[in-house]
Amino acid sequence: MRGIEEAGRGVGAEGRETASSPLVLGLDGGGTGTKAILCDAAGRVLGRGLAGPSNLKAVGRSTAFESALNATRNAFRNAGLELAPLAAACLGLAGAGRPEDRFEWRDWPRSVGLTIERLRVVHDGEIVLAAGADDAGDGLALIAGTGSIAFGRRGETHARCGGWGYRIGDEGSAYHVARHALTILSRRADGRETPPRPDRLTAVLLDHLRCDSVDTLVHVVHAPEFDRTQTADLARVVLEQACDEPGLLDRLLDPAAEALAELVLTTARKLHWWKETDSIHRVLPPPLAIAGSFLIEVEPLRLKVLRRIEQAGFQVEPRVIQEPALGAVRLARWDLHADMTTPPQP
């Protein structure tokens, strides 16, 4: 991102000398992990920190708050700094899309003993968009990791689609694809469909879960300790090890791509970027910021999503976002420089 610079060697020593200067934190938290990036007011990256999951709905308040604190501490440690007050921070969090969720996170600094002068709490789609948006901050964002959501901004109008969680939605996510794979396994075990020979899907799942039969597998995946993250991880296992089974890759990824493209197109429609009746508006294609470990790692899925968006008659400028936390930094710096008319440039 333009405006976000990497610090060179010797940052720790420099940081200790300038610890009293304004510090800015961007945090990206989800169902599988949390990443914090510590910067100075000019946007220079001082340190990065990783920690466990911080989705309130998935792991609860105590674990989520602890993960966010640990990621922050690790970023300070990586910068060679002691934990210190922050001039501004932005928390971009999966599961924080609704006011009551954001309100709970606003209590995080007090709960963990941090001092933050300006705190912004947003859902993860907003920081992905901030990392990939145009100079005006406009664009679309699509995230597919353990869950899925699309978000967009055009001028003063915001829109979102998805982000309902695994019990209701998360179509196109790793969890969704893993559930689909398990459903195929169950259909084959029942005899509702004839498995190919060899049945790579069943063999891979049994081997990964260390089960000697499908009956044993049922007990494993229904055990209380087998959480949604472990379920989502099965998608990567199947795609890596069983994709040589004829037709399986398309069978798993086509519905996921359709669902993710629908999230983007619905969000674009809400922002009047696109209408089915007149196809493409006479505007430049908006940037589409793409993030989420599943969508980034599984290139065939990403290409299928973009192809379906194009086939629907909508044009986007795709931008793969490797570090959404930099988008959180951008928003925090915007708050720090509140007199600016536009956000600091990505």
Can you tell me the distance from the alpha carbon of 173 to that of 215, in angstroms, rounded to the nearest whole number?
26
Of residues 179 and 341, which shows the higher confidence score?
Answer: 179
Read off the pLDDT of residues 168-189 as tens digits, 9 standing for 90 and up.
Answer: 888 999 999 999 999 999 999 9
Tokens of 9: 């060697």
In a domain, 343, yes or no: no
Give the percent of the chain with pLDDT over 70: 88
3-state secondary structure of 276: coil
Q: What is the pLDDT of residue 275?
A: 58
Average pLDDT over residues 7-31: 64
In a domain, 346, yes or no: no
User: Would you put residue 213 in left (φ > 0), alpha (ψ -120 to 50) or beta?
Assistant: beta
Does residue 93 carry a pLDDT above 60?
A: yes
Pair (196, 306) in one structural domain: no
Tokens of 197: 């020979």
Average pLDDT over residues 198-212: 91
Pair (242, 291) in one structural domain: no
Pair (144, 262) in one structural domain: yes
Can you tell me the distance from the alpha carbon of 73 to that of 54, in angstroms, rounded to the nearest whole number?
15
Of residues 93 and 260, which shows the higher confidence score?
Answer: 260
Tokens of 220: 């494993």
In a domain, 275, yes or no: yes
Read off the pLDDT of residues 210-265 as tens digits, 9 standing for 90 and up.
Answer: 999 999 999 999 998 888 888 999 999 999 888 888 889 999 999 999 999 999 99
Q: What is the pLDDT of residue 283?
A: 61
- CB-side exposure of 268: number of CA atoms within 13 Å? 30
Of residues 103 and 79, which shows the higher confidence score?
Answer: 79
Amino acid present at 90: C
Q: What is the pLDDT of residue 97?
A: 67
150: containing domain: 139-167+252-320
Pair (303, 185) in one structural domain: no
Q: CA of 63: how far to CAs of 32, 98, 333, in Å?
A: 12, 20, 27
Contacts of 277 (CB under 8 A, 6+ apart): none
Can you tell me the distance from the alpha carbon of 103 to that of 301, in angstroms, rounded to the nearest whole number?
35
Q: What is the pLDDT of residue 268?
A: 93
Last residue of a domain, one of 191, 225, 248: 248
Q: What is the pLDDT of residue 11?
A: 43
Q: What is the pLDDT of residue 4?
A: 53
Are residues 86 and 20 in contact, defined by beta-carbon separation less than 8 angstroms?
A: no
Q: What is the pLDDT of residue 124?
A: 84
Q: What is the pLDDT of residue 253?
A: 95
Does residue 105 carry a pLDDT above 50?
A: yes
pLDDT band per the 50, 70, 90 thresholds, residue 9: very low
In a domain, 37, yes or no: yes
Q: What is the pLDDT of residue 240?
A: 87
Q: CA of 4: how far to CAs of 36, 59, 113, in Å?
A: 14, 31, 28
Q: What is the pLDDT of residue 331?
A: 92
Q: CA-based angle 283:284:287, to the nearest 5?
A: 130
Pair (34, 157) in one structural domain: no
Pair (162, 304) in one structural domain: yes
Q: What is the pLDDT of residue 274?
A: 65
Of residues 20 and 313, which shows the higher confidence score?
Answer: 313
How high is the mean pLDDT of the chain?
Answer: 85
Read off the pLDDT of residues 301-335 as tens digits, 9 standing for 90 and up.
Answer: 999 999 999 999 899 999 999 999 999 999 999 88
3-state secondary structure of 135: coil
Q: What is the pLDDT of residue 125?
A: 83
Peptide bond between residue 109 and the one before it cis (omega within 30 degrees of 0): no
Does residue 120 carry a pLDDT above 60?
A: yes
Does residue 15 carry a pLDDT above 60?
A: no
Does residue 79 carry a pLDDT above 60?
A: yes
pLDDT band per the 50, 70, 90 thresholds, residue 104: confident
Pair (40, 105) in one structural domain: yes
Does residue 94 carry a pLDDT above 90?
A: no
Q: What is the pTM of this model?
A: 0.79
Counting the structural domains of the chain, the total is 3
Element (H, E) at 336: helix 325-336
CATH code (residue 327): 3.30.420.40
Element (H, E) at 84: none
Can you tell me the distance from the alpha carbon of 266 to that of 308, in angstroms, rounded to the nearest whole number?
13
Pair (195, 264) in one structural domain: no
Can you tell me the distance from the alpha carbon of 104 to that of 93, in angstroms, rounded to the nearest whole number?
12
Pair (269, 160) in one structural domain: yes
